[in-house]
Chain A
Amino acid sequence: MSATVEPKTVAPGDGGPLNGPERTFRYSPINYLRRYGAAGLVLLNLTCFFILWELFARAEVVSPLFLPRASDMFRTLFEGLSPGGIILQHVFYSMRMFSIGMLAAAAVGIPIGLLMGASKVMDSIFSPYVWAMAALPRVALMPLLILILGFSDSAKFTLIFLSAIFPIIINCMAGVKTVDQSLVRAGQVFGASKTDLYRKVIFPFTLPFIISGVNQGMTRGLVGLVIAEIFGGNKGLGYLTTRAAQSFNPALLYAVLLVLVVFSLGFVQIVKIIETKAAPWRNYGS
């Protein structure tokens, strides 16, 4: 953490001659193990898991209808994801719906959240609706949406949008409201105008909140996506799970679930990386 500030304490004779506060040292195998060992352990763990699964399924302790062999699942997965495969087109469809819904939720939610944080009037106008909608399980809206919009893409898009937007609004609002008052005071002392304060102090302070709002919105949006696809239509990963179950194809069902896990983790991970890049100070005690 403070590597740039204090010289590293190194056991004598560990590296080169100590002339300045810094010196380089070489990695020993143990250093490598400490650094990359965790990743190796995860790999080993997962391999064991799938092997046990395979053995368990082959023993047919559970009906193969509920638990396919891991190898079957992987075969279906690779076939399905190869060009022209059955899973791939649905992945693309779901990803497109999800991206459009998320972009719209962010584009609308961030400004509303920032406004609510900055202005008491805006807050009191919007907050009853925001909190009511945030409290309502969004799934309950699906029948209504189908009634209005039918089994259409716009019904799905609306559910994703509504699922994702409220965590975004609430986080943006919290960011502006919790802005460090001494930073605002510093801005004022050094002559910042109201606009300057928003641009140079409050917005940068809120940025990590915005990102984590988008992150939470994504997990909620994904739930919205799958539920909307299960409810209706004939496209998307959610639809594919119901189809696999109805056609007694457990290998396909498990493969789609795995794709969803990767899908979700991938998005969350990307946002996490953006967060650490955008606000490195957040990982420290300030």
Chain B
Amino acid sequence: MTNMPSPATRSATSAAGRNDVVIDARDLVVGYRKLREKIELTALRDVNLQIRRGEFICIVGPSGCGKTTFINVVAGLVKPWQGTMHVNGTPVKGPGPDRAMVFQDYALMPWRTVQENVEFGLEFVKHDLSKQQLADRVAHYLDLVGLKGFEKSFPYELSGGMKQRVGIARALVCEPEILLADEPFGAVDAMTREGMQAELERIIAETGQTVVLITHSIDEAITLADRVVVVSHRPGRIREVVEVDLPRPRFEYDIKANERYHELREHVWDLLKGEAFGAATEGEA
């Protein structure tokens, strides 16, 4: 908590009880092998990041900078080459029910109804819920994401925004401590995107989860995050962690009319501009 990796990081956020570290990445080096070329590529290098309970973290960076790799390490899908990743004080060995993920391409099972897709989140987890309790829980989260009445629909009958609501409900239904989201609104149109950001803020305010969200939209990062982690071009290093000190709930007022919003936006933009100009502008339109 004290050894934050970047000078821009200031003291912990206001809320009490937020000071224990949930995700603790130390000296992380992660990469992958390209078999055909016989080379090993480093995706992330020297990543130190401590994320506190209940924090909303957004990671921005140019395409191919290893954002997804980082989230995969947290999820337990990828093992680091060097360094350690601890979640709640224990090293990550694989996926676990304390972490759930929302995918950019939704990753819904097309043969399952909305309800069955949400149930998928709990299918492989040991729980002591009765059938009724399980159904209630699924219904609760479907209601929370605004999908009441669509339980029996299939994904192919839904719009992109609604598919992602299913994806969010599936992640929330496990009631994980940590919600990971890999560009969750990347494939959603601009109007739906803003609505869904507002809903995500409302839902997270209700559930109090720790969130790590990847995006390549600076606006999305600043509107949602408590802290924005800016990652450099490959191999990804943390350039700076920017504290976003804008009052919440942010969708209750016109955040874009706020002076501070623009200062932060400029600042993040300057950090990224030096990285990969083309890549950083893509998601911004």
Contact = CB atoms under 8 A, between A and B. Distances in A.
Interface in B82-105: 95-97, 99-101, 103, 105
A271 interface: no
B156 A284 contact: yes
Main secondary structure of the interface of B (DSSP, over half): loop
Given A189-B75, A190-B121, A191-B124, A183 B109 contact: yes
Contacts of B110: 279, 281, 286
Contact of B77 (A185, A200, A205): A185
Nearest to A284: B156
A191 B153 contact: no
Contact of B95 (A2, A182, A188, A205): A188
Interface residues of B, number: 30
B77 A188 contact: yes
Interface string A211-231: 000000000000000000000
B111 A190 contact: no
B99 to A, nearest CB: 8
A281 B155 contact: yes
Contacts of A190: 95, 100, 120-121, 123-125, 170, 174
Contacts of B162: 5
Contacts of B109: 183, 200-201, 204
Interface of A: 1-2, 4-5, 180, 182-183, 185-193, 196, 200-201, 204-205, 207, 279-281, 284-286
Interface of B: 75, 77, 95-97, 99-101, 103, 105, 107, 109-111, 120-121, 123-125, 150, 153-159, 162, 170, 174
Given A1-B157, A5-B162, A285-B156, 7 more contacts: A182-B107, A185-B103, A185-B107, A189-B75, A190-B125, A192-B123, A280-B154
